Amino acid sequence: MGFDISKNKWLQKITSNHLLKIILSRLFMVWIVITLTFFIVRALPGNPIDIFVTEQMEKFGLSEREARQRASTVLCFDVNGSLDTQYLKYLGNILRGDLGNSCAVAPNESVIELVLANLPWTLFSVGTSLVISFLIGMLLGMFAAYQRNTGIDHLITNLSAVIDSIPNTLTAVIFIFLVGVVWNLTPASEMRGALSPRIQPGFNLVFIADVLKHYIWPGSIYILTTVGGWALAMRSNTLSVLGEDYVMAARARGLTDMRILTVYIGRNACLPLVTSLGISLGFVVGGSVLIEKIFVYRGVGSLLLTAIEKRDYPLIQGILLLTTITVILSTLLVETLYTRLDPRMRTHGIQGD
């Protein structure tokens, strides 16, 4: 005899609870990412021991036996353990809030401590640039749509399309070549790093000025390579909003173009972009791997790339897990913010409940 859920009021209450459904779905997503990451990173060619042995043999001329002996004393990784045992142990550690220790990049150091040490730099560089490019892109997109079919509209649209189509790594290389070599505005060596060697972190003008001096180079690339996409999306949304009845009514009431553009058009046109911005903010934790590597900028992105190069399984898993969690939290925040910005969402939500 089959089980009828319709006769169980307790189960009906749980399944009808919207908040619980959201929590369970997000937890399921986290588990999927944990599982896929665990097995995918181990499917990569080589392992932490092999990578370390190869480096020792190439750099110091050690024999394979000597290199493996050194690896056994330096690295904390068991290559002979079964995958199912490692997986179950890893899940147990996560439930206790332990992401493990690095096994290659910084042996025996906590993954959480390594990420937290690099996280502020990525949050500042990528997060600040993302917000700036979003605001500039919105303004350019609205202006281009309001001046549609004019020379300004064609200039902004075509330039945004070109910028958006060029990979950020290529833009970074061209930028360094032009600024540091061709125009000689600043030595290419000064574009490297996140902080000068002699500067001590602290809340003072010297530290802040040095941070900004190093940020301007990767920050300019972040802004330049993302502003085009925001501008194109905002232009498209604005054009669709311009034909709405409430815009026509506002013009009939004699409202100024600036008020119509900012209050009636801008607010409604930017709503679809809020979700994209939230997801992009969630990925800030992962940073921009290649840009941070090119500019030797300290951050989570460069840390992830180093972990992949050295096959540091716990560190790779920890960074990707934290990135997943931040993306999920940011999308939840965006959904809440969206209902605040668009009253229709609140109305539909109430009716749906």
pLDDT of 339 reads 65
pLDDT of 159 reads 93
Query: What is the four-CA torsion angle of 11, 14, 18, 19, rounded to 10 degrees?
Result: -160
pLDDT of 15 reads 47
Distances (CA, A) of 323 to 30, 171, 307, 329: 10, 25, 15, 10
pLDDT of 9 reads 56
> Quick one: 274 and 140 in the same domain?
yes
Buried b (16+ CB within 10 A) or exposed e, 9-26: eeeeeeeeeeeeeeeeeb
> Quick one: 187 and 282 in the same domain?
yes
> Quick one: 67 and 191 in the same domain?
no
Which segments in the chain show pLDDT lower than 50? 1-3, 5-6, 11, 14-15, 346-353
| pLDDT tens per residue across span 312-350 | 889 999 999 988 888 888 887 777 776 666 555 544 443
pLDDT of 351 reads 43
pLDDT of 3 reads 47
- Distance of alpha carbon 201 from alpha carbon 206, whole angstroms: 9
- Distance of alpha carbon 151 from alpha carbon 144, whole angstroms: 9
How many distinct structural domains can be found in the chain?
2
> Quick one: 291 and 217 in the same domain?
yes
> Quick one: 212 and 268 in the same domain?
yes
pLDDT of 12 reads 52
Q: Which domain holds residue 200?
A: 111-352
